[in-house]
Homo-oligomer: A and B are copies of this chain.
Amino acid sequence: MLSTITLFTALTLITSLLTTTATATTIPTSTQTTNPQPPPLSYAILLFRAFDLLDVNGPLSPLQLLAHSYPLTLSLLARTLDPVTTRPASPSMNPHNASFWPSLTPTHTFATAPENLDVLIVPGGLGSRSPDLEPEIAYLRAAFPKVRYLITICTGAGVAARAGVLDGRRATTNKRAWGEITAMGPGVRWVAPARWVVDGHIWSSSGVTAGLDLIYAFIKEMYPDGHELAATIAGGSEYEPHNSTYDPFSSLFNVPTQNQL
């Protein structure tokens, strides 16, 4: 077995490599982004009862690895500081009375959330259809004009649509839940097929795992060394990100082609 000192030396080296990658980009390359804005540093994620664990943690895992190269902050926002459970609110949504529902504990309420966030992420999940999302929708509507980027994952686009912030914008959502979610935003220019869609400062992904592909594309676009960092993080995570046109699920779920990419 390796000594613990050796282990930590190896780990430090890996971190150093990531850090070095983050700072060794003064020479422009063909893959370098031309985004002139400062890179996003302050992230928040909007939590509500019965959010999907992967909608939230799929993007957060690569961002945590990015946080080895940038001083990122993450706020977990909810209506109160009580833990937010993934247990569905209605017993009919849990017909076998399963007990498989971890919680996340918020860092801020909507009332105490940081102002002027760089990125606000809205996940989906069974809870995104709840009629009891008024505090979440009110926060989203109020915060939207002040955030630099809004990211929706999966049926989180339904929450954003209910807040009205997607009206007139191009967006996508989960293809199995397509009819249900798009009905929440008749003024939205819903796009299919698409793995994810960018319209100005609004990024929206298709279902659940599409959030991983969106966040890799976001990292590439937003950070000066984003292409290199995304490749490093994806390699260590053993993930090959899809591009925005990958979408076998639109045809699987008979979603009609509209507002094409």
How many protomers of this protein does the assembly include? 2
B8 and A90 contacting across the interface, CB-CB below 8 Å: yes
Task: Give complex CA distance A19, B47 in Å.
Answer: 27
A102 at the interface (CB under 8 A from B): yes
A209 at the interface (CB under 8 A from B): yes
Stretch at the interface among A30-38, A92-100, A138-146: A92-100
A248 and B240 contacting across the interface, CB-CB below 8 Å: yes
Q: Which residues of B lie under 8 Å from residue A131 when comparing CB positions?
A: 4, 7-8
Task: Give complex CA distance A224, B197 in Å.
Answer: 38
B71 and A176 contacting across the interface, CB-CB below 8 Å: no
A162 at the interface (CB under 8 A from B): yes
Closest Cβ–Cβ distance, residue A239 to chain B (whole Å): 4
A226 at the interface (CB under 8 A from B): no
Q: Which of A83, A92, A236 has the most CB of B within 10 A?
A: A236
**Residues of A219-261 whose CB lies within 8 A of B:** 235-240, 248-249, 252-253
Q: Which residues of B lie under 8 Å from residue A72 when comparing CB positions?
A: 96, 98-100
Task: Give complex CA distance A7, B8 in Å.
Answer: 51
A74 at the interface (CB under 8 A from B): yes
A109 at the interface (CB under 8 A from B): no
Assuming the contacts A57-B56, A207-B237, A212-B209, asked whether A96 and B74 have C-beta atoms less than 8 A apart, the reply is no
A236 and B174 contacting across the interface, CB-CB below 8 Å: yes
Q: Which residues of B lie under 8 Å from residue A54 when comparing CB positions?
A: 57-58, 60-61, 237
Closest Cβ–Cβ distance, residue A190 to chain B (whole Å): 14
Not counting A57-B58, A69-B96, A177-B236, a sample of 6 additional A-B residue pairs whose C-beta atoms are within 8 angstroms of each other reads A8-B131, A53-B60, A53-B61, A54-B57, A73-B98, A209-B239
The 6 closest A-B pairs by CB, nearest first: A4-B131, A54-B61, A207-B238, A67-B98, A57-B57, A208-B237
